[in-house]
Amino acid sequence: MFRRQCGTLKESQHWQKVMKICIIFALFIAIYPLMAQTSDENLQQIIARLDEQSKVFATIANKVTPAVVNVSVTKKVRETERDPMYDFFGDEFFRRFFGERPPFMPRDREPEQRGLGSGVIVDPKGYILSNNHVVQGADQVTVRLADKREFPAKIIGTDEKTDIAVLKIEGTNLPFVAMGDSDKIAVGQWVLAIGNPFGLNQTVTAGIISAKGRANVGIVEYEDFIQTDAAVNPGNSGGPLVNLHGEIIGINTAIASRTGGNLGIGFAVPINMARSVMEQLIANGKVRRGWLGVRIQEITPELAKGLRLSQSQGALVTEVMKDSPAEKAGLRQDDVIVAFDGTSIYSPNQLRNLVAITAIGKKVRMEIARENRQITLEVTIGDLDRANMQEDVGDDDAGGMQPLSELGIEVREITPELARQYRLRIKSGLLITNIQPNSVAEQYGIREGSVIARVNQIKVQTMSELKASLEKEPSLVVMLLVTPRGSQYIVLPRRK
């Protein structure tokens, strides 16, 4: 009986499992068409959104491309054909008989070099923004529009320091594109790069802003580049980088590539910088830049600790030029400039660019962090072209060579002879005369011929002052070095 009951129970459980499987299978058969339909609906929604996005790109391209132009330049390169007999028959003896150029001597020729680039019309009067490297040295510039019209172009002016050029054509019903505000752009924002790569008119590529404020790229002197992954091919130089409103936010300038092709890293000059340069070139034919008269450097965490700074944001003043606007305004060495004309300062390069585009003679308010307190100074911006870089001269203090084995350097108190030998900018301090191989100093890039002006915020001119300053801070050595390139703080770790 017991076995029967158990057998009946097992059979019942078996049939229950079979029924559950059948029910699940039946439900799957019933729901599958709905699932497929839902998946198809989602796919259609995604396609619809992508289609809308592509329509936005197409609308922008149709709006902007009529004003994007092909810039064709011609340069005459004078060179002399030479053959083995040129120097012989060019001798003064033969010139007396045959004149300045004997008939059998080869003649100078002026071959032409041609180049292509891009530009964009930014004003109905016919002003065009492009790159300096596109038109540099050009004898003739021709501009071709999308509607096949061609115009001779006049070079209004160029600025090598930002790689911006301004051209002008004379015509009627000229298309143009409005300039936006590059200060309002954001990383991740969609952009289109439009230009004329390889002679192919109105080529459009899409991407995003990868970074902004790129400096120290080594392309031009004043760098504040917008970095984008939109393909900026060589022929795109001078073409516009536009936002989704169809406004110009940059002028395409360069690509990062080892082969000449695009690798997803392109650089554009921010339109605010290009606009400032353009306005000056149109008004004056050249660019006049503002001058503050300071040397500045970035604040690293180590430097902030060594100088006991309360913040790492801003530009650290390492030197104030004599009789400069900065000195007259009361700016001091070790001040940190945290705001300039209402704009917060995050890096030395940003401050340098802001000063450069500030009108000469304008009074500007600067926010300064000094000894952990905030002060405001007013400075009148000077003219960089007229800046008189005077050198500070201090008292001479003689002394012999002294080794600093801890740091791997040898120093000497500056004498008049050493000052002349090393052509020093300052005549007081401690001259570094030797760097030991594989030392801390070598690892941190210190070079022979630099002058130690301050150590741990103490001015040093003698070995005893250097010793006292080193004893002040047991963990770090913060040196202010004066080099041919200017003053710079270096933070060195001390041996434990």
Q: DSSP secondary-structure letter at 482?
A: E
Contact 223, 242 (CB under 8 A): no
Please state whether beta strands 409-413 and 150-152 pair in parallel, antiparallel, or not at all (unpaired).
unpaired
184-209 as b/e, with b when 16 or more CB fall inside 10 Å?
A: ebeeeebbbbbbbbeeebbbbbbbeb
Domain 182-284 is in which class?
A: mainly beta
Report pLDDT for 214.
86
Task: Tell me the C-alpha distance between 215 and 237, whole Å.
Answer: 19
Give the CA dihedral 269, 271, 272, 273, nearest 10 degrees.
30
What ranges make up the beta strands (E) of 362-426?
Answer: 363-370, 373-380, 382-383, 401-404, 409-413
Q: Is 237 a catalytic residue?
A: yes
Average pLDDT by stretches of 10, the chain with 496 residues:
40 57 64 60 74 82 92 71 48 47 51 76 96 88 91 94 94 94 93 77 86 82 89 81 95 71 78 94 91 89 82 86 91 92 90 91 94 91 71 35 71 79 79 82 84 85 81 78 83 71
- Of 130, 182, 237, 487, which residue is the catalytic one? 237
151-172 as b/e, with b when 16 or more CB fall inside 10 Å?
A: bebebebbbeebbbbbbbbeee
Domains of the chain, by residue range, sit at 2-65, 182-284, 290-386, 401-493
Task: Tell me the C-alpha distance between 321 and 333, whole Å.
Answer: 10
273-316 per-position pLDDT tens digit = 999 999 999 998 889 899 999 988 888 888 888 888 877 789 99
* Fold of the 290-386 domain: Pdz3 Domain (2.30.42)
Contact 66, 145 (CB under 8 A): yes
Tokens (6 digits) for 227? 């970095």
**Phi, psi at 11, each rounded to 5°:** -65, -40
C-alpha dist (Å) from residue 393 to 330, 413, 416, 419:
20, 15, 11, 11
Best CA proximity match to 266, nearest among 217, 214, 235, 231 = 231
Report pLDDT for 2.
34
- State whether residue 251 is helix, strand or coil: strand
Please state, as a whole number, how many other Cβ atoms lie within 10 Å of the Cβ of residue 381.
21
Task: Tell me the C-alpha distance between 476 and 490, whole Å.
Answer: 10
**Phi, psi at 315, each rounded to 5°:** -120, 120
Best CA proximity match to 122, nearest among 282, 235, 344, 336 = 282
Report pLDDT for 93.
47
- Of 118, 130, 133, 469, which residue is the catalytic one? 133
Tokens (6 digits) for 333? 């060495």
Report pLDDT for 24.
65
- State whether residue 278 is helix, strand or coil: helix
Report pLDDT for 282.
95
Best CA proximity match to 466, nearest among 479, 482, 455, 477 = 455
Report pLDDT for 295.
87
Tokens (6 digits) for 395? 């008292």
What length does the chain have? 496
Distance of CA 144 to the CA centre of its chain: 30
Report pLDDT for 7.
43
Report pLDDT for 264.
64
Q: Comparing 290-386 with 401-493, is the CATH topology the same?
A: yes
Task: Tell me the C-alpha distance between 157 and 482, whole Å.
Answer: 37
- Of 159, 163, 224, 229, which residue is the catalytic one? 163
Please state whether beta strands 140-144 and 79-80 pair in parallel, antiparallel, or not at all (unpaired).
unpaired
* Fold of the 401-493 domain: Pdz3 Domain (2.30.42)
pTM: 0.66
Report pLDDT for 10.
47
Instruction: Give the angle 324-330-331 at the CA atoms, nearest 5°.
Output: 75
Report pLDDT for 425.
74
Task: Tell me the C-alpha distance between 247 and 118, whole Å.
Answer: 17
Task: Tell me the C-alpha distance between 193 and 212, whole Å.
Answer: 16
